[in-house]
Amino acid sequence: MNTVVNIYEPRLINLEVTEDEIIAYLMDGRTIAVPLVWSWRLSKATYQQRQHFKILGDGQGVHWPDIDEDISVEGMLHGTPARRPSNSTKQAA
């Protein structure tokens, strides 16, 4: 198994969560920001829950343990908002 890290993959070094945005600071010097509403869990979370995060692995993403939310750097770069769960309820016939 090859465990070499691709130095060209975007890696997170720091993160900031404001009332409106998730701002990611990458190792290659880029800063990217996505709307907070892209994560329905984060948009409904308290300020304290938003600030309690852990950078995953070598910076591939971020995890918020209080709300069980994960966002990858690739997802932020590609513009992939989190999907809301389906609210449909199946009824027996």
The pLDDT tens digits for 11-61 are 999 999 999 999 999 999 999 999 999 999 999 999 999 999 999 999 999
83 in any annotated domain: no
CATH number for the domain spanning 65: value is 3.30.2020.40
Structural domain containing residue 60: 12-78
6 in any annotated domain: no
86 in any annotated domain: no
Print burial letters for 32-67: b (CB count within 10 Å at least 16), e (below 16): eebebebbebbeebeeebbeebebeeebbbbebeeb
87 in any annotated domain: no
**Local confidence band at 9 (pLDDT 50, 70, 90 cut-offs):** confident
88 in any annotated domain: no
pLDDT of residue 18: 96
5 in any annotated domain: no
What is the count of structural domains for the chain?
1
3-state secondary structure of 64: strand
47 in any annotated domain: yes
Query: How far is residue 20 from each of residues 17, 35, 50, 51, measured CA to CA in Å?
Result: 8, 6, 11, 13
89 in any annotated domain: no
